[in-house]
Amino acid sequence: MNIQSLFLVSFIFFRFLGGISESPGRHYSHLKQNSDGRSNYDVKFYGLDLQVSDSSTYISGNVAILIDPLVQSLQHVVFDFSNALSTDSVTLNGEKVSYVHAENQLKIALTSPIDAGNLSSFQIYYNGLGKNTGPYSGIYNKFYSSWNKHITWTLSEPFHAMNWFPCKQVLTDKADSVYVFLSTDSNLKAGSNGILTAQIPLPGNRIRYEWKSRHPINYYLISFAVSDYMDYSFYVKKTGENDSVLVQNYIYNNTDYFDLNKAAIDKTGDMILLYSDLFGEYPFADEKYGHCVAPLGGGMEHQTMTTLVNFSFLLVAHELAHQWFGDLVTCSSWQDIWINEGFASYGEYLSNQYLKSQSAADSWMAGVHDYIKSVPGGSVYLPEKEINNEDRIFDYRLTYNKGAAIIHMIRQEVDNDSIFFVTLKTFLQKFKNSDASGIDFRDHLNDITGKDFTAFFDQWYFGEGYPVHSITWSKQNDTLSIYSLQTTSTGNQLFTVPLEFKINVDNRDTIITRRQTGNFNTWKIFLPGNVTSVIADPNHWLIIEAGDVQNTTPVDRETTFRIVPNPAKERVNVYFTGNTGTYSLYLADSSGKILSSWETAEEHMVITLNKLTPGMYFIIIRDRKGIYQAKFIVY
């Protein structure tokens, strides 16, 4: 099929399958032309027709881009396009137009302006050696000696689709459909998005693979991979249903490779069924889900056909989860990459939990927590100054691990799995084929659960660090007392977390939950019986540092220090009556909020009170034996 036929198909597709839908809030007459030329139009369709090879990043061919102007009298159009490639010619609706290709942009000035709502088709012919230097290059080529194969593949996220085809690199503008036609040597296979609609023999022992996808797609999710592949495909069918999903895998054409990986590949079917239950039906079921193997450093969730290095359980689980979180719904900006990577990483936990065991899931989460806490600071939300820093966008500790861990904490806060997963499903339905931010998810979470997660997001999504708890307990008669002192890894903020405790009483375990509402909390629990141990956060819900929960007797607290005078006005003396080395001393108000803190190894300390208003306060002492508190009055 020639490229003009592609345009004809695309026009028919838009006109007769629902037309062009106007986005909410779009008012053409009120928009002004943006100076960079990318905000003045909406991409409707990409049609790539490329000559590719398994032994080089050299590509040649053309790309058709169908646009819908968003302003009246559109006078110029800009596409992102690397200077490493050469533009041969550009046409608009079949007529040649002038252009300037510089500064990694293709700038086209229109002699006849286009009015809003008039679909217009650009066709860009180009060639060149795709840029393939550095970790984020767009197109790559490698000889994989382990399986004696040459492979060329693309990896465009976040800013590098332009290194192999002209496009609009704006997250909030998804094309409504894409065709990827790939011509290569007839002994090779070339995989891409959507459905393989034809394999056309060409002169000179060549073949053209024609892939078509009619789902909205973001620029960086368009891909191809070419190598000496074999096609291992199967179908996944839900029990009691007639519909099935094609799982199409382009793997190295080697019997040993197939035998080694078949069982792992087959697990993809179980994951599709799992995620369909948890997130909603697989969003591209009318096309496929698949994999192209390539020697990259992990995987990339190209829509309907992930590119990955191997079929390890967690890698497959992660990239498949992206088809919902990242592909169906994409982050609105790279600052909100959590929408993509946090949820896909949580897919790893869910796959462990439902397809392996709760123990495997707990172990996974415990490892995630340990890695998060290996550095004290950092937020999940990407600071604006880091928006172009690719290493920060894909920071494994923050974007992936902490991103997944806070979703797990949201699940605990919701405290109802049915509501939690309904929240995920309805969020995906609400924003499907579009984009969303962390705030969009927060607001949806509030609506569905009826709870207010504003403070949670301020603490965990936008905020930095994690709480550090020192916890002791004592038992008198039928009352268990638990004392929790919270400091933080960074700053002085308070994390209001629901703390779960596993209490062994009379050789039986019971779980109770209490919320930390201040830096220092005391909880008294009626609990007859002999308590032998208390464990904080036994199910690894929280990103906290808790350590061992110590048993300390009331006598210890009363004899460790004393406060005089009490009541006090201008100053108070703290006398330490034991000799346990260094003391951490905290001054807290009646709500448990820490106002000041000190470290001392002296036996006597004076605290001035002239900045305090009258009322009740606490002195809290932490030493190597435990935590002790005493209240005093300021008048």
Q: Are 395 and 421 in contact (CB under 8 A)?
A: no
CATH code 2.60.40.1910 region(s) in the chain: 467-549
Sign of CA dihedral 252, 258, 260, 265: positive
* Phi, psi of 592, deg, nearest 5: 95, 0
Which residue, 483, 326, 506, 293, is CA-closest to 400? 326
Sign of CA dihedral 421, 422, 426, 427: negative
For residue 253 the two structure tokens come to 């054409």
Rg (CA), the chain: 30
Compute the mean pLDDT over every residue in the chain, rounded to the nearest whole number.
Answer: 91
Please measure the distance between the N-terminal and C-terminal CA atoms of the chain and give it in whole angstroms: 88
Tell how far CA 117 is from the center of its chain.
35
Residue range 398-447, pLDDT digits in tens: 999 999 999 999 999 999 999 999 999 999 999 999 999 999 999 999 99
pLDDT tops 80 at residue 236: yes
Q: With bands split at pLDDT 50, 70 and 90, how would you rate the model's confidence at 2? A: very low
For residue 154 the two structure tokens come to 């693309």
Which residue, 299, 294, 270, is CA-closest to 282? 270
User: What's the rounded Cα separation, in Å, for the pair 274 and 353?
Assistant: 11
Q: With bands split at pLDDT 50, 70 and 90, how would you rate the model's confidence at 152? A: very high
Section 65-87 average pLDDT: 95
For residue 177 the two structure tokens come to 């459909």
Residue range 44-62, pLDDT digits in tens: 999 999 999 999 999 999 9
pLDDT tops 60 at residue 31: no
For residue 200 the two structure tokens come to 């056309």
User: What's the rounded Cα separation, in Å, for the pair 635 and 625?
Assistant: 32
Report which listed range, 89-93, 484-488, 625-629, is most confident: 89-93
Instruction: State the pLDDT at residue 132.
Output: 64
* Domain 3-227: top CATH class: mainly beta
Q: Are 173 and 207 in contact (CB under 8 A)?
A: no
Q: What is the CATH number of domain 467-549?
A: 2.60.40.1910
Q: Are 168 and 147 in contact (CB under 8 A)?
A: no
Residue range 607-630, pLDDT digits in tens: 999 889 999 999 988 887 778 888
Residue range 455-464, pLDDT digits in tens: 999 999 999 9
* Phi, psi of 593, deg, nearest 5: -75, 125
High-pLDDT (> 70) share of the chain, %: 92
Task: Kindly report the pTM of this predicted structure.
Answer: 0.90
Instruction: State the pLDDT at residue 458.
Output: 96
Residue range 171-193, pLDDT digits in tens: 999 999 999 999 999 999 999 99
For residue 234 the two structure tokens come to 């199967």
pLDDT tops 70 at residue 6: no
- If one compares 33 and 145, the residue with the highest pLDDT of the two is 145
Give the single-character DSSP code of 335: G
Which residue, 306, 326, 277, is CA-closest to 171? 326
Section 336-353 average pLDDT: 98
- Edge-first strand order for the sheet with 467-476 is 520-526, 479-488, 467-476, 550-551
CB neighbourhood size of 389 (10 A) = 13
Residue range 548-604, pLDDT digits in tens: 898 886 655 556 788 999 999 999 999 887 666 788 899 999 888 889 999 998 889
pLDDT tops 60 at residue 490: yes
CA dihedral 399, 400, 403, 405 (to 10 degrees): -150
User: Range with the lowest mean pLDDT among 28-42, 208-222, 410-424?
Assistant: 28-42
Q: With bands split at pLDDT 50, 70 and 90, how would you rate the model's confidence at 17? A: very low
- Edge-first strand order for the sheet with 583-589 is 594-600, 583-589, 615-623, 626-634
Q: With bands split at pLDDT 50, 70 and 90, how would you rate the model's confidence at 32? A: very low
User: Range with the lowest mean pLDDT among 228-242, 310-324, 341-355, 466-480?
Assistant: 228-242
Residue range 273-313, pLDDT digits in tens: 999 999 999 999 999 999 999 999 999 999 999 999 999 99
User: What's the rounded Cα separation, in Å, for the pair 3 and 190?
Assistant: 19
Section 320-332 average pLDDT: 98
Instruction: State the pLDDT at residue 507.
Output: 94
Section 251-255 average pLDDT: 98
User: What's the rounded Cα separation, in Å, for the pair 593 and 485?
Assistant: 10
Section 240-247 average pLDDT: 86
Instruction: State the pLDDT at residue 611.
Output: 87
pLDDT tops 50 at residue 5: no
Q: How far is CA 117 from CA 72, 113, 375, 597, in A?
A: 9, 12, 51, 64
* Domain 555-634: top CATH class: mainly beta
Q: What is the CATH number of domain 329-460?
A: 1.10.390.10
CB neighbourhood size of 4 (10 A) = 13
Give the total residue count for the chain. Answer: 635
User: What's the rounded Cα separation, in Å, for the pair 460 and 463?
Assistant: 5
Instruction: State the pLDDT at residue 102.
Output: 97
